[in-house]
Amino acid sequence: MTTTLITGANKGLGFETARRLVAAGHTVYIGSRDAERGHRAAEELGARMVQLDVTDDVSVEAAVKVIAAGGGLDVLVNNAGVQAEMSDGDVVVGAAELTAEVMRETFETNVFGTVRVLHAFLPLLRLSAAPVVVNVSSGTASLTRATTPGDPVHAYRGVAYPASKSAVNMITVKYAKAFPNMRINAVEPGYTATDLNGKAGTQTVEEGAEIIVRLAQVGPDGPTGGYFAKEGTLPW
């Protein structure tokens, strides 16, 4: 039996990933910072619920205790994320408007949150026979694409969100190297209609969740330290 925790799974790509992994036979914990929203999602999917705010040490430590008592953890999907520079699907904070506060808000969830959750759950993951981590990154994280004229990532005006996801990519590479017995990868779901972008994304959540679901199910002989979209490997 595989036990999986997905952060920020009460809606959007996390929710769809949970739905698919429940169908694949995983015991899934819906991580939700709001217990009520989490309970509703878990009930709908036949999943478990754990209150988990990735920006809050106390909440994350309590979630570790709940999942340890439930029998441990095999798969961690770091999915919770914010795109603070967007409003109604438009980037409203570009380089000219960027403040340390917007940068901090973005990194608090996307970067420090990911490290907080990883650090807290490492002891449980190390007890698993086949530990897997999926860090939900973004295509905007790619320095190669950001510096290639004509690529949509080059055209993207925001700074804080891509910088946070580039940090997630580096974290992925470093953790994969440090823990060779774990499969640890970064994924780019693609531009998907969710609340993150005011539903402006061009893909459905079913399409977006595909690569997250695939890397969450990777076997011990599968890739680690990679950066994947559903079309294949992405340039860093």
Catalytic residues, which ones?
Answer: 161, 165
Shortest CA distance to 78 belongs to which of 171, 177, 141, 181? 171
Say whether residue 90 binds ligand NAP (CB under 6 A).
Answer: no
Say whether residue 189 binds ligand NAP (CB under 6 A).
Answer: yes
Say whether residue 38 binds ligand NAP (CB under 6 A).
Answer: no
Say whether residue 162 binds ligand NAP (CB under 6 A).
Answer: no
Applying CB under 6 A, the span of 32-40, 42-50, 149-157, 174-182 interacting with ligand NAP comes to 32-40
Give 37-46's long-range contacts (Cβ < 8 A, gap of 24+). Answer: 37/10, 37/11, 38/9, 38/10, 40/10, 41/9, 41/10, 41/11, 41/15, 45/15, 45/18, 45/19, 46/22
Quote the tokens at residue 165.
């996801």
Q: Which is nearer to ligand NAP, 89 or 220 (CB)?
A: 89
Compute the least distance from the CB of residue 221 to ligand NAP, in Å. 27
Return all residues near 210 (Cβ < 8 A) that are at least 6 apart.
189, 230
Backbone angles phi, psi at 90, to 5 degrees: -115, 145
When binding is defined by CB under 6 A, the residue of 22, 45, 54, 153 that contacts ligand NAP is: 54
Tell me how far the alpha carbon of residue 189 is from its chain's centroid: 10
When binding is defined by CB under 6 A, the residue of 196, 211, 215, 216 that contacts ligand NAP is: 196
CA distance 77 to 35: 19
Applying CB under 6 A, the span of 48-56, 98-106, 171-179, 218-226 interacting with ligand NAP comes to 48-56
Residues within the interface to ligand NAP (CB under 6 A) = 7-8, 10-14, 33-34, 37, 52-55, 79-82, 109, 113, 136, 138, 188-189, 191-192, 194-197, 201
